[in-house]
Amino acid sequence: MGYLSQLKPQELKNKVCLLRLDFNTEDNWRLDAGLPTLKFLAKNCKAVVILSHKGRPEGFDRSLSLKPITKILRKALGKTVTFVPHFRFLEIRELVHASPRGAVFLLENLRFLEEEADNNEILAEHLASIGNIYVNDAFAVSHRANASVVAITKYIKSYAGFGLESEIKNLSRVMTAPKQPLAVILGGLKIEDKMQVIDNLKDRTVSFLVGGALTSEILDQLKSPKIILPVDFKKDDGEIKDIGRKTANFFQKEIAKAQTIIWNGPVGDINKNKFSHGTKAVAQAVVKNKKAFKVVGGGETVMFLKKLKLDKKINFISTGGGAMLDFLAGKVLPGIKALENHD
């Protein structure tokens, strides 16, 4: 696999770079994660064209346009960012190549085109025709076979950006050679994805602390002494909404023993303050354990940590939710495989 970090600035001098980022979050934390790569490219390339998406639109949806992000990028970069509201690729190519050195462009939401999700090679070839090199720094969407993530690498020299390289190295570290004992905290939804993580990591993990909506389903699907389930709950209309105080205390003790911690998914319904106490207790225990290497992922979990102002105390925050789970489950991510095949 080729990494952007292996390239020298002078190698980029005359290149137009297509940069795949992911802006699909409630606030701008994924955008912020991509800024080191974007700033490096904007400084050293002839021009940068940002490719991204937002939401799951069916055709053009003004509410999901990427145009508002242009202002955020301008402020972050301290320079003009030109928004391209159409997909007339010949015009885009002419615009980009005629631009002054260091120009940055943002294309409209690629998911407005159904060919994006279909991994359409014609769309990929059109996108590739705009530039000279391609950089994927969108780990969060690299588990999806999209045209701007996978097929595009067939038509243009391709590299992993700084953020994607960091994801691969940090998640590989905790998956293959974690400092023991390893504790894995799993909550939220997507039971099938979490079960696959448990299955892949069970020989390297001392304890799986399970909460949230997964609790009852885990019981029926996999029995293991390593899986620690809640002993008490907070409920609403008969539904489990949070772990109870006894469980929170027990989870905190288990977390304190760990040398490596992986966390994905809240252990309660954090959308309601009265059911967020369990997740808050887990978050406080995770950051309190200063000796452990801590990895956290999943949009809800990261946003909750940011709300508590604890995110800076985590060793590595993955920008991926589903992508992180797929990686830890040992699956081959299409976006990463495409870069490996390209090399």
Q: Tell me: the pLDDT tens digits for 256-277?
A: 999 999 999 999 999 899 999 9
CA-CA distance, 265 to 188, in Å (whole number)?
A: 4
**Maximum C-alpha span of the chain:** 65
CA distances from 105 to 20, 36, 51, 76 (A): 12, 17, 9, 14
CA distances from 262 to 79, 145, 201, 317, 326 (A): 38, 26, 11, 10, 14
Q: According to the model, what pLDDT value does residue 25 have?
A: 73
CA distances from 314 to 5, 63, 181, 261, 323 (A): 24, 33, 18, 10, 19
Q: Please check the confidence at residue 343 and state whether its pLDDT lies above 60.
A: no
Q: Please check the confidence at residue 134 and state whether its pLDDT lies above 80.
A: yes
Phi, psi (deg, nearest 5) at residue 163: -65, -45
Chain mean position to CA 134:
19
**Domains of the chain in sequence order:** 4-160 (3.40.50.1260), 168-328 (3.40.50.1260)
Q: What percent of the chain lies above the pLDDT cut of 90?
A: 79
Q: Which pTM was predicted?
A: 0.92
Q: Please check the confidence at residue 223 and state whether its pLDDT lies above 80.
A: no
Give 27-64 pLDDT, tens digit per residue: 788 888 999 999 999 999 999 999 999 999 988 999 99
Strand spans (E) along 21-118: 47-51, 81-84, 103-107
